[in-house]
Amino acid sequence: MAAGGHDQRVVPLDGGRIALGSVALRVFPKSRRIRAYLRWSDRGRTRERYLGEVDGENRPDNLQHAWVLAREQGVALPDAAPAGTARRESWASSVDVRATMRGNRSRDTKPEMRIRSHLHALGLRYRVSVRPVLTVRRTADVVFTGARVAVFVDGCYWHGCPDHYRPARQNTEFWSEKISANRQRDAEANRLLEQAGWQVIRVWEHEDPSAAARRIAVLVRSRAAARRSAAPVATASRA
């Protein structure tokens, strides 16, 4: 179901051969990070490829994310089906939706790269695609640990941009619920991180990256300065 159907799990092999893949999820106990791997059988031997980290609310979300990663990396073919097999309708049944799914990169998207480039030009240094708070399963796109600022660069479709989001023409109910859940998750992430003392900035992919970077820089520098000035006071009170 996460792949979109039995015939949507196709892994291309050499010589025009194909195999049906599956996704394995592995949790690393210390960091609680979840890594996804694509597995398939080739001439009786099990093959495996690391796809990346996933950070969904539950196992189905993580499996679905893993298949998106596999398709965008070209190791799984969403439109192929074994010879003689009838195609099944899936949640990604339209050409437009499949194109959107392929373009849904988990990190290093073009909007992210543009904003990071402008931030770097402004003299700011940051971490990329990490959890601001290890115990909170939310991964920010750009993180300033000293200032405690977490930046999320949100895609207009996946996060329901009020200016550019347009409902899917097929499987409308499914996608409406999916985008609504993403919005709720965004709001929850904001709340959890702010409760932990972090400031969250969300940037829409359609925003001007230079203006967004300047906005981020102002906040980062002001919070960093405030934390530095407060540090001696905290030290004196403990003494």
Q: In this predicted model, what pLDDT tens digit does every residue of 95-148 receive, in sequence order?
A: 444 444 444 445 667 889 999 999 999 999 999 988 999 889 889 999 999 999
168-184 confidence digits (pLDDT tens): 666 677 778 888 988 99
DSSP E strand boundaries for the chain: 10-12, 18-20, 22-27, 34-42, 45-54, 127-130, 140-144, 149-154, 199-204
Dihedral in degrees, nearest 10, Cα atoms 103, 104, 106, 110: 50
If phi > 0 it is left, if psi is from -120 to 50 it is alpha, else beta; for residue 164 that is: alpha
Helix (H) or strand (E) holding 131: none
pLDDT at residue 133, as a whole number: 94
Using DSSP bridges, classify how beta strands 149-154 and 199-204 pair: parallel, antiparallel or unpaired.
parallel
CA distances from 166 to 68, 105, 152, 169 (A): 21, 19, 21, 9
Q: Which pLDDT value is given to residue 140?
A: 94
**How far is residue 104's CA from residue 174's CA, in Å, rounded to a whole number?**
17
Residue 32 has pLDDT above 90, yes or no: no
How much is the pLDDT for 163? Answer: 87
SS3 89: coil
Model pTM score: 0.57
User: Mean pLDDT over residues 41-47, rounded?
Assistant: 89
Q: Which residues pair with 20 in a beta bridge?
A: 10
Q: Which CATH number does the domain 110-238 belong to among 2.60.40.1930, 3.40.50.2000, 1.10.3720.10, 3.40.960.10?
A: 3.40.960.10
* E strand or H helix at 156: none
pLDDT at residue 91 is higher than 60: no
- Do 84 and 43 touch, CB atoms closer than 8 A? no
**For the chain, what is the mean pLDDT?**
81
Count of alpha carbons within 13 Å of 85, Cβ hemisphere only? 15
Mean pLDDT, residues 52-65 = 85
| Domain spans, the chain | 6-102, 110-238
Q: Which residues of 92-128 are buried (b: 16+ CB within 10 A; e: fewer)?
A: bbeeebbebbeebebeebebbebbbebbeeeebebee
